Structure 1
Amino acid sequence: MNSITLSARTAGSSSRGARTALPGDLAVWIFIFAELLVFAVLFLAYALARRSHIDLFNSEQALLDRQGGLINTLVLISSSYAVACAGAAIRANRVRACMLWLCGAWALGAVFLTLKAMEFSHDAAIGMQLSRNLFDMFYLSLTFFHFMHVLMAMVIVSVVIHNTWLGRYSAASHVGVETASSYWHMVDLVWIILFVLVYVLH
């Protein structure tokens, strides 16, 4: 009786462990948490600088393309939905659907980068540059840093799309898809915070 009880408890513990395990590769999650910590420090520095120079930050924020920022936010949210659908598809062993959803996420990432590059061009045309003032330094540094993270996410997804095409993922083995999805969601989350903090908050 005791052995049966012990086995049941062990099985229950294993089931709970499986349910609470992070999706994807653990090493990537360590990297994700490190990246989130870096962004948190940068956001805190921005908030403190804004508190000390609120008039400057408000006047400079008025120059930003909020509509473009909102569109980019919707684009990234849509891309996160796409990678979530890719994960659901591969867990159902629908490999082709998974690849199509990943391609959709990649395309939306490309749209984001294109729109952001156009915004950077507009910013330069109106005289925004790192050395102009404190707001410009934070705005350009934060958004370009995030821009590079979107580019990295697209590289990761490109590799996963290639592996999916080669048939390396299935319902039984799809850590790569979950890893790419987790990183993509992190990039999306950071942009939402950045958009609210830099474009919206007054």
Structure 2
Amino acid sequence: MDILSRNPAVATRRVPGAEGIWVFVAFDMLFFFLLFMLFMTGRRTAPEVYEAGRLTLDPNYGGINTLILLTSSWLFVLALEAARGDRVQETGRWLMAALLCGVAFGVSKAFEYGDKLAAGLTPATNDFYMYYFVLTGFHLLHVIGGCVMLGVFWNMARGGAFNRQRLVVIECGGLYWHMVDLLWIVLFPLLYLMR
């Protein structure tokens, strides 16, 4: 008799989500890693341009956005825990709260972009701003996609789609949303803080 047959809790353990989401996350992270490396290479070749660009960024925007996304990820965890506990209405409330945080991130980013564009700073300004807009723009597209996903999940939760027997879809969404959060945790210091 092996350990799995003696301990049913061990036999039912599994990796959250589906295999496909892990492959997607890995390739998406690889894509961003390559962009990060290109940014770092450019920074090494023209440190004065990158430092001058960094100094024009407001770290308060970056810090607020970090708090927003960390809060949103925490709220998603609460939604997943509610689904695991078959608390349908609670699952929907936490998903809506996570969605509102995602929207708040997008609004904050729109204000930040507006400030930069009003000051005449565009992707054509210099290499730093080209990378700033590309990196944060791709990330913002991920946030928008995540907000759409959260809206769909909220609607599904209202219909009782998630419970302890049906977790794979919401787990996949959680992996994606946490990846978006992790990417911002790298982007914030890379763009706003690193000298």
Give the TM-score range, shorter chain: over 0.9
Cα drift, residue 181 of structure 1: 1.1
TM-score normalised over the length of structure 1: 0.91
In the other structure, the counterpart of 1:52 is: 45
2:135 matches 1:142: yes
Higher-Rg member (1/2): 1
2:169 matches 1:176: yes
**Following superposition of structure 1 onto structure 2, how do residues 109-188 of structure 1 map, counting pairs within 5 Å?**
109-188=102-181
Tell me, what secondary structure is at the counterpart of 1:136? helix
Task: Say if 1:18 and 1:186 are closer, same or farther in 2 by CA, change over 3 A.
Answer: farther
Does the 8 Å CA contact 2:102/2:147 hold for their aligned counterparts? yes
Task: Say if 1:63 and 1:16 are closer, same or farther in 2 by CA, change over 3 A.
Answer: same
Cα drift, residue 25 of structure 1: 2.3
Of residues 65, 74, 77 in structure 1, which corresponds to 2:67?
74
Cα drift, residue 22 of structure 1: 2.5
CA distance in 1, matches of 2:6, 2:45: 53
Of residues 6, 9, 14 in structure 1, which corresponds to 2:3?
9
CA distance in 1, matches of 2:112, 2:189: 17
CA distance in 2, matches of 1:12, 1:89: 29
2:29 matches 1:39: no
Task: Say if 1:67 and 1:170 are closer, same or farther in 2 by CA, change over 3 A.
Answer: same
Q: Give the unaligned 5+ runs of structure 2.
A: none
Q: Which runs of 4+ in 1 moved over 2 A?
A: 8-19
Task: Say if 1:193 and 1:18 are closer, same or farther in 2 by CA, change over 3 A.
Answer: farther
TM-score normalised over the length of structure 2: 0.95
Query: Residues 121-160 of structure 1: CA distance to partner in whole angstroms, max 9, x if unpaired?
Result: 1010111111111101000100011000000011111111
In the other structure, the counterpart of 1:92 is: 85
Does the 8 Å CA contact 2:5/2:11 hold for their aligned counterparts? no
Q: Taking every aligned residue pair, what percent have the same amino acid on both sides?
A: 33
CA distance in 2, matches of 1:18, 1:125: 56
Amino acid at match of 1:158: G
Does the 8 Å CA contact 2:79/2:90 hold for their aligned counterparts? yes
Query: Residues 81-101 of structure 1: CA distance to partner in whole angstroms, max 9, x if unpaired?
Result: 000111111111111111100
Q: Give the unaligned 5+ runs of structure 1.
A: none
CA distance in 2, matches of 1:173, 1:152: 22
Name the stretch that deviates more: 9-18 or 147-156: 9-18
Amino acid at match of 1:172: Q
